[in-house]
Amino acid sequence: MSRKIIHCDCDCFYAAVEMRDNPALVGLPVAVGGRAETRGVIATCNYEARAFGVHSAMSTMRALKLCPQLILLPPDFERYRAASRHILDIYRDYTPLVEPLSLDEAYLDVSGVERCKGSATLMAQEIRARIHDEVGITASAGIAPNKFIAKVASDWNKPNGQFVVRPQDVDAFVAALPVKKLFGVGKVTAAKLSRLGVETCADLRSWRLVDLSREFGSFGAALYRLCRGIDERPVRSDRIRKSLSVETTYVTDLPDLAACRGALPALIDEFFRRFDRARELRPVHKAVVKIKFADFSQTTVECVSAAPDAGIWTALLDEGYVRRSLPVRLLGVGVRFAETGLEQRGMEQIALFGDDGSS
């Protein structure tokens, strides 16, 4: 039986909560993020700000150059989490199979749900109306037979809209998609595909599996399936955390390895505070250090360790630093958890990451 999957995504979530709580902001360019002088980045912005070219993950300094009148607000995660909890409660009124992706985004499997006469389209409309009436913000939705297509469809009629891809329409819908819409196809992979003459999923379908595997390694199999609209991943209400980390972007670059070592204890203390709160039951498998240098190049170093400590993270820092030996703008420490057999089979089923590491 074909699944009925809804992907719900709130529109400019953080900014929407801010405008809900301060109606004077409505109609003005608003962004939530860090200050320019602390090398902050934009977490999200409303559509008025997007009209100036501002977008999430952009540096705040760049955003203010594009839109000098931008109203920049610091994040208030307590309010965002409260709104998120209310939204998740609404989702769970319809199905227990809810897989949150972030505070404002989730998959819902409503296969076999009798509400709204079993219509996923009507359920999505009702859910969006309830989010508007009960939470005071808008959401968009995609409805499709699988997670990949539902996520693409939720972006089709943003903001405050929805789009349905029926099972009989999947083939034509996916064939027309640009390959950059596929999971794992970031700038590097998209550029490589373009050089190979591949711009759409229809173009990609002319490639044999063996040829895609030769060009893209293990990710070739995922490309082969996704360009045909094949995604068998179930909606998992018990989504598994694969890693835990903390990182800091410094106002002033750390000039050398000694300064990086000096900054490490504070990061490690913060990591263990988060680790204690997470109450993760699976064993730790690896220790990880992330370094972003002043030229924005980045490296990650890891090693197998069941119980990382300051000595292990320091050794990883030393190993990573010598790869560039430049001043450092960001440091992070963390762990990767051991995978169960079930997780490993899931990863074999579909690869979500391309050869450029994008998602």
Give the C-alpha separation, 211 to 279, whole Å.
44
Number of H helices and E strands in the chain, helices first, is 14, 12
Say if residues 244 and 328 touch (Cβ distance below 8 Å): no
104 marked as binding residue: yes
Dihedral (CA of 253, 254, 257, 261) sign: negative
SS3 at position 35: coil
C-alpha 155 chain-centroid distance: 14
Give the C-alpha separation, 34 to 267, whole Å.
19
Pull the structure tokens for residue 330.
Answer: 């960001």
318 marked as binding residue: no
Question: Does an H or E element contain 37, and which?
Answer: none
Give the C-alpha separation, 296 to 28, whole Å.
32
Amino acid of residue 46: N
φ and ψ of 289, to 5 deg: -125, 135
Give the C-alpha separation, 56 to 67, whole Å.
14
Pull the structure tokens for residue 228.
Answer: 């045909």
N-terminal to C-terminal alpha carbon distance within the chain: 29
C-alpha 224 chain-centroid distance: 22
**Active site annotation includes 48:** no
18, 48, 99, 105: the catalytic one is: 105
Say if residues 223 and 314 touch (Cβ distance below 8 Å): no
Closest by alpha carbon to 226, among 72, 350, 114?
350
Give the C-alpha separation, 65 to 335, whole Å.
37
Question: Does an H or E element contain 359, and which?
Answer: none
Beta-strand (E) ranges in the chain?
5-10, 30-33, 42-45, 71-73, 98-102, 105-109, 139-144, 162-164, 243-254, 284-293, 298-304, 328-337
From the annotation, which residues make up the binding site?
9, 104
Binding-site positions for Mg(2+) read: 9, 104
Active site residues per annotation: 105
